[in-house]
Amino acid sequence: MQAIKRILVVIDPTQTDQLALNRAKLIAGVIDAELHLLVCEDRDDHVRTLDKHCADLKAAGLQATSSQAWHSNLTDTVIHVLSSQGCELVVKQHLPDNPLKKALLTPDDWKLLRYCPAPVLLVKTTASWMKGNVLAAVDVGNHDDQHHVLHDTIVSHAADIVEMINGELHLVSAHPAPMLSAADPIYQLRENIATRYRDQAQRYAEANGLDLEHMHIAEGPADTLIPKVARQIGASVTVIGTVARKGIAGALIGNTAEVILDQLDSDILVLKPEDTLAHLERILEK
């Protein structure tokens, strides 16, 4: 997170309280990053509002530019401006989705999480992050290289935020229920599964300098456990990974990050594995 030098802030002109702008302003002040403000709309002219925000930011000692654009939809607009402005993080306010609309159409923020080639911070609250708890969601029982890289990225970003806000780092990992048909005997008994995940969590904690008391390992679906732990510890921000899932499976199931979005009380920072980012970048180049 410390390496981010330019942040794209999505401005919603219909909102009085610009939660995304306020959060991005604080982050930029700490990591010395520039801000680019974007209104995704082609109807009304919001240049005067953007100029006012930029003037206020410059008065506060921050570098800021702005633009208003529209390319078919919100996600395409964000991605286009992200690339043209050389931004490395997107900050956007998240508003709860209408359940009926969500059942019929893929929400804009879900699309943004799936296809944006940069980390996305969705802001949900006005609460201060300072001296708060940061929750990193990983799967310590998954050993493939892709997940190892993603987990390291998640923990690294979470640790950067902890240092930035003088907070505390927590880690959550859900493990599956026993399955008698599992090929690996370990996954046929609840005690064996729990032991494996605890052992992996301990090794992960030692390797990353984490406090074992801040490791939350339990059985159950991740989309249930993560919001539960976030509420228990009063997380200021939850850091999680996602993949670009497409087609019917993506429409009906969604990724964990998408499913928990409206369940979390905290802000949420969503990251992607490197190979997914490379795939998205190849698509954008075409």
Complete DSSP assignment for 19-80: HHHHHHHHHHHHHT-EEEEEEE-SSS--HHHHHHHHHHHHHTT--EEEEEE-BSBHHHHHHH
Q: Closest Cα to residue 124, out of 258, 20, 232?
A: 20
Per the CB < 8 A criterion, the answer to whether 264 and 137 are in contact is no
pLDDT in tens, the chain (286 residues): 778 999 999 999 999 899 999 999 999 999 999 999 999 998 889 999 999 999 999 999 999 999 999 999 999 999 999 999 999 999 999 988 777 766 677 889 989 998 898 999 999 999 999 999 999 998 877 665 666 678 888 888 999 999 999 999 999 988 767 665 555 656 556 777 777 778 887 877 887 788 888 989 888 888 999 999 999 999 999 999 886 555 444 443 447 888 899 999 999 999 987 644 454 455 445 4
pLDDT score for 275: 46
pLDDT score for 183: 57
> Could you tell me the pTM of the whole model?
0.88
**Which tokens go with 163?**
């240092």
pLDDT score for 49: 95
C-alpha 48/C-alpha 252 separation (Å) is 41
